[in-house]
A and B are shown apart, each in its own frame.
Chain A
Amino acid sequence: LDKGSKVCRISRVPERITKQLVAVLAVLCSDPGREWYGLELMEHGGLSSGTLYPILHRLVLDGWLVRTRDIPSDVGGTSRRLYRLTALGERTAEAMLAARRARQLEPVRGLRPSMQPR
Chain B
Amino acid sequence: VITALFVCLGGVALWVLHVLRSLVEPIIAAEVRGTFDDHLTARVVRAAYRLPTELAAELEAEWLAELGELNHRPRLALRFVRGLDKAADAIAGDLLPGSIAAHNAVPAGAVEEIRIPGKRRGPAAIQREALSSNWLAFIEVAPAQEAQVLSAVFEGESTVEIAARFGIPIREVHLLRARGANRLSALGRPPTQG
Contact = CB atoms under 8 A, between A and B. Distances in A.
Given A37-B66, A74-B68, A53 B80 contact: no
Contacts of B82: 48-50
B90 interface: yes
A51 B161 CA distance: 35
A49 B68 contact: no
Residues of B in contact with A, size category: 35 or more
B108 A6 contact: yes
Interface stretch (A26-34, A57-65, A100-108): A57-65
B105 A7 contact: yes
Contact of A8 (B64, B83, B108): B108
B66 A51 contact: no
Interface in B85-107: 85-87, 90-91, 94, 97-98, 100-102, 104-107
Contacts, number: 109
Interface in A38-93: 38-39, 42, 48-54, 57-58, 61-62, 73-75, 77-81
Contacts of B98: 57-58, 61
Interface string B53-87: 00000010111111111100000000111111111
A57 B91 contact: yes
B186 interface: no
B87 A75 contact: no
Given A48-B79, A49-B83, A11 B158 contact: no
B164 interface: yes
Interface of A: 1, 3, 6-12, 15, 37-39, 42, 48-54, 57-58, 61-62, 73-75, 77-81
